[in-house]
Structure 1
Amino acid sequence: MTDLAETTRASRPTRLRRMLTDGLAARHSGWTTPLLLWLASRIVSTALLGSVYWLATTNGWHFASYRRDPSFATFSGSWDASFYRTIAEDGYPRVLPTDPDGHVVPNPWAFLPLFPGVVRGLIATTGASFWVAGLVVASVCGAGACVVLFRLVLAVADARRARWTTAFFAFGATGFLLQVAYAESMFLLLLFGALLALVRRRYWLVAVLGVLAAFTRPGVLALAVALAVHLVVRWVAARRAVDAGPRGRESFPWRERVAVIAAGLVVAAAGLAWPVVATAVTGRPGAYLDTELSWWVGFVGRQHFAPLTPWFLMAGRWLGPAGIVLVVLVLAATAWFLRRRDLRVLGPEVLGFAVAYIAYLVAVFLPQQSLPRLLMPVTPLLASDVFTGTRRRATGWLVVGVCLQAVAVVLLWFLGFP
């Protein structure tokens, strides 16, 4: 009897593990797996944020972002979320604020309207504060982003890569952004949804989601490039199928070609629209660009914008010639990584988007502490064997991500902004 009882107890962990594995692999795991990962990651992120908030308030530590009426909700809406609050409550200024020398200073025109608009609707419906409503909207969108990312990688690769990629996304160094009053989670939900729609050839949906994403965060022009890549790939495949004779299978009807082109043009136009809107409302040419450049002053002084120079400008200012060499090495390493054979499993659309988005960051973005946040749209690249090749390797990267998230929370809440 004793041996039987011991055998039964020993088998329980195995049975529980098997039940969990079977549950994750069930028919509806396209929902359950990413939602379970999202829920577990929210426990981790909330514990990290809550611990830091409790320690700071208990000991009277000063935060990097000043808040009136401090609470956990306002703590979760730190940094530039105050601009989203201004937009939600008062809209955009018709006159750009300037310093005594006439230079534009940071203002709400750097932030796009969809996230604060949705938050404003929730405030009007429920009477909640901006901080609470922003947290709710961001958290719901974060859950949706996990689901859509999982389904996107599942559509182009396999369930193993989809699970690990979603886990890296939710638990990683920037995982806390899936629940703070920032537009990131909403943008990622729309962007991943547009890429999934593109893979599934639902071009009208790509256009709709792409336009919405364009008014949530900058960077949607890379989606237009992905549409162009898709057009070329399908066009070439169709020509080869014709040349192969009756056995050719690829069909690319003209109505679909027109749909792809139309979706690409609509997304590109939406991606370029906000600077035009800012100029039209404020009456100041270059209003959006001047606003964006106002954030550069603290890092590199007042500058005129020139494409493809910001990374070299930042590195040269802070590290001298060694910084220029470092940028060249980083770009070379990135190019090498993007050419890896195992990344081809993502398909030309997702890989084409990732390449275009990274090129966009190099062309226009001044690299600083917000770079990890801005790299979140290329999360599908984490499906590479570099990160998911073996269970031990993937587990190691997951642990590293959680540890880096703890470091990021401390640094960003007490020393800087994301």
Structure 2
Amino acid sequence: MTSVAGATRASRAGVGRVLTGPRSAWTAPLVIWAASRMLSTALLAAVYLLATANGWTFASHRQDPSFFTFSGSWDASFYRAIAEHGYPGTLPTDDAGHVQPNAWAFLPVFPAVVRVVMTLTGASFWVAGVVVASIAGAVACVLLYRLVLAVGSPRRARWATVLFAFAPTGFLLQVAYAESLLLALLFGALLALVRRRYWWIAPLGIVAAFTKPGVLALALALAVHLVVRWVEAQRSGRSVEVFPWRERVVIVVSGLVVAAAGLAWPVVASTVTGRPDAYLETELSWWVGFVGRQHFAPLTPWFTMASTWLGPLGVVLVLAVLAGAVWFWTRRGVRALGTDVLAFTASYGLYLVAVFLPQQSLPRLLMPMAPLLGSDPFVGTRRRAVTWSVVGVCLQPVAIVLLWFLGYP
């Protein structure tokens, strides 16, 4: 009995060293990531086996059904087409000449990386895509941990990473989507911003801009950072000493470069296809099933979706959501994360409201806001953190069934 108790104490001490020791900035998030992958893999495998045994219809590649092809459902089919064949030179259209959904809605970095892995290993897209996404998910967990640690505490960093990895959408960190790669790049760039290592932001932002849309939020966060530092330097009475001109120049250059990269893909699409509206019309083609054919105007998609399905009540609901978001970002426990995290997450939220039509993929698109998980509303107390963790674990199988079978996530 004594030996068992001693072994238990030693085991707890070992776990403690991993989570709180001198190397915990690496070990803690990797342990959290590994544990979350065991859960997500088990849930995905269980659903896959259940669906296969009962002949359920789902979106994965069925010519060679396997766990990896199941993990390459929905958008992954477009990434596969890009990795294996590139982008179409002509946009597909229906009989009326309307652009149909096509690969130009998906950016090239993730399929390019997967293609390299396929070439080096001989693996199929399905296997290589899961491997790349899983490794990127591990990097995203490490960088999120370090980001929250930089603006908070080790306890907040651990719990924020747990909530992120075990979230209802946590399974997307290992499927053949570009999400985990984008998150790793964004968290890395935001960490560089918090630590004032400005030269890292532009290269990370450029790669992120060609991984998934949304990097314009990073450019706006840089602008906010510049203004805040400028004002603080002026108030100090030692402007140049507190905020050297070389840092100001780097911030401005990085912001302009990231903004240009964020706007570049529509130009690439129009150049290759010969249609100036190639990218916009491709994106709008996904709206048809929800709101019919629409002309795009910034800041209107949420109102369009809500009014189409709920009428005037939908508009009121959107206004209430926006008011709630403003209230959330102005809470003291959230503001404690610092200007940089607030500027990025609020800018990203503004981006979603400005250009995105809210539907079932909204939970996935909210994942770049994960740094907010280090704030008081989520991890202010142990009970609160544990409660949110349990909610995430319980909702993940629900999310897998709803998103992986009933609608693309």
TM-score, shorter chain, exceeding 0.5: yes
- Name the % identity: 69
Q: Is the 8 A contact 1:115 1:183 kept in 2?
A: yes
Instruction: Name which of structure 1's ranges 327-336 and 216-225 shifts more when overlaid on structure 2.
Output: 327-336
In structure 1, the residue matched to 2:214 is: 219
**Pairwise CA distance, 1:17:** 3.0
1:363-394 deviation digits (Å, cap 9, x = unpaired): 10000000000000011111121111211111
In structure 2, the residue matched to 1:302 is: 293
In structure 1, the residue matched to 2:77 is: 82
Q: Is the 8 A contact 2:146 2:157 kept in 1?
A: yes
TM-score, structure 2 normalization: 0.97
**Pairwise CA distance, 1:249:** 10
Q: How far apart, CA to CA, are the structure 1 residues paired with 2:357 and 2:388?
A: 27
1:351 paired with 2:342, answer yes
1:405 paired with 2:387, answer no
1:22 paired with 2:17, answer yes
Q: Is the 8 A contact 1:279 1:287 kept in 2?
A: yes
Q: How far apart, CA to CA, are the structure 2 residues paired with 1:249 and 1:167?
A: 41
Instruction: Name which of structure 1's ranges 382-391 and 253-262 shifts more when overlaid on structure 2.
Output: 382-391
**Pairwise CA distance, 1:12:** 5.7
Q: Is the 8 A contact 1:237 1:250 kept in 2?
A: no
In structure 1, the residue matched to 2:41 is: 46
Counterpart AA for 1:208: P
Q: Is the 8 A contact 1:34 1:166 kept in 2?
A: yes
**Pairwise CA distance, 1:250:** 6.1
Q: Is the 8 A contact 2:81 2:103 kept in 1?
A: yes
In structure 1, the residue matched to 2:31 is: 36
In structure 1, the residue matched to 2:100 is: 105
Q: Is the 8 A contact 2:61 2:70 kept in 1?
A: no
Structure 1 portions without partners, runs of 5+: none
Among residues 147, 154, 175, which one is paired with 2:149 in the alignment? 154
In structure 1, the residue matched to 2:204 is: 209
Q: How far apart, CA to CA, are the structure 1 residues paired with 2:176 and 2:94?
A: 28
1:192 paired with 2:187, answer yes
Q: Is the 8 A contact 1:89 1:120 kept in 2?
A: yes
Q: How far apart, CA to CA, are the structure 2 residues paired with 1:300 and 1:403?
A: 32
**Pairwise CA distance, 1:145:** 0.3
1:274 paired with 2:265, answer yes
Among residues 385, 388, 391, which one is paired with 2:382 in the alignment? 391
Q: Is the 8 A contact 1:193 1:209 kept in 2?
A: yes
Q: How far apart, CA to CA, are the structure 2 residues paired with 1:102 and 1:153?
A: 49
Q: How far apart, CA to CA, are the structure 1 residues paired with 2:9 and 2:383?
A: 19
In structure 2, the residue matched to 1:322 is: 313
Q: Is the 8 A contact 2:90 2:273 kept in 1?
A: yes
Counterpart AA for 1:38: W
**Pairwise CA distance, 1:19:** 3.6
In structure 2, the residue matched to 1:331 is: 322
TM-score, structure 1 normalization: 0.95
Alignment RMSD = 1.5
**Pairwise CA distance, 1:213:** 0.2
Instruction: Name which of structure 1's ranges 225-234 and 31-40 shifts more when overlaid on structure 2.
Output: 225-234
Q: Is the 8 A contact 2:136 2:180 kept in 1?
A: yes
- SS of the residue 2:242 aligns to: coil
For residues 235 and 291 of structure 1, do their structure 2 counterparts lie closer, same or farther at Cα, with a shift above 3 Å needed? same
Q: How far apart, CA to CA, are the structure 2 residues paired with 1:172 and 1:160?
A: 18
Q: How far apart, CA to CA, are the structure 2 residues paired with 1:12 and 1:73?
A: 38
Runs of 4+, deviation exceeding 2 Å: 8-19, 64-68
Counterpart AA for 1:188: L
Q: How far apart, CA to CA, are the structure 2 residues paired with 1:250 and 1:376?
A: 38
Among residues 59, 65, 77, which one is paired with 2:54 in the alignment? 59
Q: Is the 8 A contact 1:64 1:412 kept in 2?
A: no
Q: How far apart, CA to CA, are the structure 2 residues paired with 1:68 and 1:183?
A: 23
In structure 1, the residue matched to 2:279 is: 288
Among residues 119, 139, 153, which one is paired with 2:114 in the alignment? 119
Among residues 254, 258, 264, which one is paired with 1:263 in the alignment? 254
Matches within 5 A, 1:216-255: 216-242=211-237, 251-255=242-246
Counterpart AA for 1:281: V
- SS of the residue 1:346 aligns to: coil
Q: How far apart, CA to CA, are the structure 1 residues paired with 2:329 and 2:16?
A: 32
**Pairwise CA distance, 1:14:** 5.1
Counterpart AA for 1:299: F
Q: How far apart, CA to CA, are the structure 2 residues paired with 1:240 and 1:306?
A: 40
Q: How far apart, CA to CA, are the structure 2 residues paired with 1:171 and 1:334?
A: 23
Q: Is the 8 A contact 1:153 1:380 kept in 2?
A: yes
Q: How far apart, CA to CA, are the structure 2 residues paired with 1:73 and 1:153?
A: 33
Q: How far apart, CA to CA, are the structure 1 residues paired with 2:378 and 2:240?
A: 35
1:38-92 deviation digits (Å, cap 9, x = unpaired): 0000000000000000111112111145532111100000001110001001100
Q: Is the 8 A contact 1:96 1:107 kept in 2?
A: yes
Q: Is the 8 A contact 1:174 1:373 kept in 2?
A: yes
**Pairwise CA distance, 1:261:** 0.3
**Pairwise CA distance, 1:344:** 2.1
Instruction: Name which of structure 1's ranges 11-20 and 107-116 shifts more when overlaid on structure 2.
Output: 11-20
